Amino acid sequence: MRTLWLIPALLLLGACPSKKKQPQGDLTPPGPKGPHLASPLNIFARPAFAYAAKGPKEVSLSDVAERTVKSVVNISSTRVVKRPHGLSPYHGNPFFERFFNRPSPPREQRARSLGSGVIVSKDGVVLTNNHVVEHADEILVTLSDNTQLKAKMVGTDPKSDLAVLRLEGDLSKLLPLPLGDSAKLRLGEVVLAIGNPFGVGQTVTMGIVSALGRADMGIVDYEDFIQTDAAINPGNSGGALVSLRGELIGINTAILSRTGGYQGIGFAIPTAMARPIMDSLLEHGKVLRGWLGVVIQNLTPEIAKAMKLPVSQGVLVADVQPDSPASKAGLERGDVITALDGKPMHAVSKLRNQIATAGSGTKVKLQVLREGKSREVELALGVLPGDQIAHLGPQQGVLGGLTVEPLGDEVRRRMRLPRRTTGVVVTEVKPGSAADTAGLRDGDLILEINRQTVKDAYQFSTVYKAAKDPVLLLVFREGTTMYLLLEK
């Protein structure tokens, strides 16, 4: 069983592992003059280097580490927590409780959290994780030279786990870290993780980019993580993931671990996502995400086959909200979004992140497949009014154990449906049946079967019985619609 940890802010002391001499080995293929022996640290053709952000001069790994560590800060946040008093000594005695066991005001305790942050501007802007400073009453930032400064909260975004602070006091010593372009990262690229693990002080670890675009991890609402094997531990939250050019490419956020400590899988929020969120918080005090106005789900090969589509991957539009940018641009239910601004879209999470990150007012081009024909749709994104882009996971199963009834006026009123709406209402789903496995529920309204409008229960039954291929249903539930693929 895997466990995801938002890197907690805590201080632990443990025994240091014993140092062992690294074995020698043949790490390069034999050349014309025979094998080249090298230690595991000598894996480069020459000593590790990075190109500086300015000029062609080669800079050693140590130079990059020593320069960038000065831009990473330690963050100590304090908040007041109210805790109830313990039980009265008279608890349980009705006579004495009447007189002595009266409620008393809760005790106030100060909870302290430790984490990291990154200076990104000369005027004192610090980027960190929301969970490092969430609900903080006081925030104290310690620079690499042990100078302590107070900080104020500019804004937070729990949906991405980012927060922006502004330092107060003498800012003349600040050394901001330039923001790099995380979109240019490649698998296997060497990166540095800088932070304050376990509260021991500034620490630099090295690893590679293990994966890009990690989503659906269940950590936050918007996920597009960089995965790295650079050692990340509790206290590293909000610290910097740095490229060999000495640029910030990510904010260290979470680890995948069974123990709560480093096990080789860490996640960082890429700057491609962090930068627009930070800019929006600085300008507006909140995040203005882009809004398309659709309900979407992943297109599976089974649904694609049922819809007779020439593609097996993409994002299926299950519903289009009235007066939304998608509606005004002519998007329709059943459309398949295959690309955004020329970039392939194979998953809901990727499209959702790209739309949100683009921001309101941004013009985008969607490649849409409708009835087997591809077309391009251009539109300007709106402002996301809450969580209007729903994520519906794929639903599979077979139909059986299902009872439906005609859609009556009473149900129309209860579900606030127009009188012209037709369909059948699911009144019973037997536990353990194929319909139950498919995800159908009592109260679902079936609007379509195999792309045909459902008029009544008889027509629904006739079409279902005549169908030879898997049956595609359009179901209305709790204000939205979704497609369910049901094999007979």
Which of 459 and 111 is assigned the larger pLDDT? 459
Q: Is 360 exposed, middle or buried (0-12, 13-18, 19+ CB in 10 A)?
A: middle
Helix, strand, coil percentages, rounded to 5, for the chain: 15, 40, 45
Query: Which residue's entry shows tokens 């529920």?
Result: 441
Which residue among the candidates 71, 131, 157, 444 is catalytic per the annotation?
Answer: 131
pLDDT score recorded for residue 16: 40
Any residues with CB less than 8 A from the CB of 226 and at least 6 apart, and which? Answer: 182, 185, 209, 211, 212, 214, 241, 249, 250, 267, 268, 269, 270
Query: Which residue's entry shows tokens 């305790």?
Result: 109
- If you average pLDDT over residues 384-388, what whole number do you get? 55
**Structural element, H or E, at residue 25:** strand 25-26
Nearest to 411 by CA among 438, 442, 390: 442
Nearest to 166 by CA among 154, 149, 178: 154
Domains of the chain (ranges, CATH numbers): 48-69+178-284 (2.40.10.10), 290-392 (2.30.42.10), 396-487 (2.30.42.10)
Q: What percent of the chain has pLDDT over 90?
A: 42
Instruction: Tell me the pLDDT band of 24, cut-offs 50, 70 and 90.
Output: very low
Instruction: Tell me the pLDDT band of 375, cut-offs 50, 70 and 90.
Output: very high
Angle at 417 between CA 413 and CA 422, to 5 degrees: 110
Nearest to 147 by CA among 66, 74, 240, 228: 74
Q: Is 356 exposed, middle or buried (0-12, 13-18, 19+ CB in 10 A)?
A: buried
Instruction: Tell me the pLDDT band of 8, cut-offs 50, 70 and 90.
Output: low
Distances (CA, A) of 192 to 67, 69, 76, 112, 341: 12, 10, 23, 27, 31
pLDDT score recorded for residue 7: 63
Nearest to 386 by CA among 215, 208, 221: 221
Which residue among the candidates 71, 210, 237, 257 is catalytic per the annotation?
Answer: 237
Distances (CA, A) of 384 to 157, 270, 290, 306, 352: 14, 21, 6, 32, 11
Question: Residue 161 catalytic?
Answer: yes
How confident is the model over 101-159, as pLDDT tens digits?
555 555 555 557 689 999 999 999 999 999 999 888 899 999 999 999 999 999 999 99
- Two structure tokens written together for 20: 């062992």
Distance CA 297, CA 300 (A): 9
Which of 158 and 414 is assigned the larger pLDDT? 158
pLDDT score recorded for residue 333: 92
How confident is the model over 294-341, as pLDDT tens digits?
989 999 898 888 888 888 889 999 989 888 999 999 999 999 999 999
Which residue among the candidates 157, 161, 224, 319 is catalytic per the annotation?
Answer: 161
- Two structure tokens written together for 479: 């204000």
pLDDT at 437 over 80: no
Q: Average pLDDT, whole number, for the chain? A: 79
Any residues with CB less than 8 A from the CB of 82 and at least 6 apart, and which? Answer: 106, 107, 108, 109
pLDDT at 242 over 70: yes
How confident is the model over 64-103, as pLDDT tens digits?
999 999 999 999 988 765 555 554 554 555 544 444 455 5
